[in-house]
Amino acid sequence: MIITKTPFRISFCGGGSDMADFYREHGGCVLSTTINRYMYLTIHPYFDEQKTALKYSQNEIVDHINDIQHSIFHCVLNDKKISGVEISSTADVPSGTGLGSSSSFTVGLLHILSCYKGKYLSKSALAKEACEVEIDKLGAPIGKQDQYAAAFGGLNFIRFHKDDSVSVEPVIMKGKTLAELQDNLVMFYTGLTHDANKILAKQKKNIAEKEEKRRSLLRMCELAESMKMALEDNDIRNFGKILNEGWMKKRELAGSITSPFIDELYDTALRNGATGGKLLGAGGGGFLLFCCPKEKQAMLREKLRLKQFPFKFEHDGSSVVYIGDKYWEDV
């Protein structure tokens, strides 16, 4: 048996500039971090080598991998020509909550299958292939940030270049600053999930057709640059303010990104200690992230009355956590 774990991510600023229609013209950038919440995958030979078994939110046992219903499993297992295995996935966080679960799954799946075949993939190659699967082969209306965040891990400034290349730059700061930043960030679950693809498809259309939407996204990239420079200067005094302006700009990209319910929660947070925040992911539901001084977080929790989701920053990215001895005996 082989087991991999692949982290989920929090995107602070710049989301949307990782879509090809935008970055091929303007370039794009995102500031994000991975957190200690994971997608776990396991693989081992299935006892009936003529069948393939998959366990996720549903169970599939098929005679031929062409019959697989799960789109990512279907695409990747057919590409790799791997059958006769049992693969299970388990996640710390449900899908549709804005933490990049789909891309974490894709990265983790590609990672575990490369290990199963005895091949090494660099973090860059892993992220690039995950983008090819989700965007090019499956046609998802998404960008590239989630795949690179999940593969590399850590607090990074990710640039999306006009020639389709991607560079990942770790944000360097003092340990004390990093700890203070983490202490000032709190996350709450809204109780809502969303269909990210529908929201992103609308956002993508708006950016392609409307100049004011592109201007909003250009400003979001400027804010991401400012946030990066502030952290590297060990200055987090304006982190919440930048986070807030980024959220205000993101809301302009598509009407479905927010809702009256989410806006009310956000306004309540700003009145009760938060200096800024955002809804994570494509929008519409999932997790609200706030920057709030530690001494005011109890009041924030009391007023929001939402389930808090504790987390810590993560630095490893997608990793192999177990390879059984029997696997090596059989290959």
Do 53 and 69 form a contact (C-beta atoms < 8 A)? no
Q: Which of 21, 63, 67, 146 is catalytic?
A: 146
- 247-268 CB burial, b ≥16 within 10 A, e <16: bebbbbbbebbbbeebeebbee
Do 103 and 6 form a contact (C-beta atoms < 8 A)? no
Amino acid, res. 291: C
Which residues have C-beta within 8 Å of that of residue 307, sequence separation ≥ 6? Answer: 188, 189, 191
Phi-psi region of 191 (alpha: psi -120 to 50; beta: other; left: phi over 0): left
Which residues have C-beta within 8 Å of that of residue 87, sequence separation ≥ 6? Answer: 41, 42, 43, 53, 54, 55, 73, 109, 112
Q: Measured between alpha carbons, how far is 81 from 76 in angstroms, rounded to an integer?
A: 8
Active site residue 136: no
155-160 and 28-45 strand pairing: antiparallel
Helix ranges (H only) for 210-296 are 211-232, 239-251, 260-271
Q: What is the DSSP string of 137-193?
A: IS--S--SHHHHHHHH-SEEEEEE-TTS-EEEEEPP--HHHHHHHHHHEEEEE-S--
The tokens 């809301």 sit on which residue? Answer: 251
Token pair belonging to 278? 């955002």
The tokens 């992230």 sit on which residue? Answer: 289
CB neighbourhood size of 35 (10 A): 23
Catalytic residues: 146
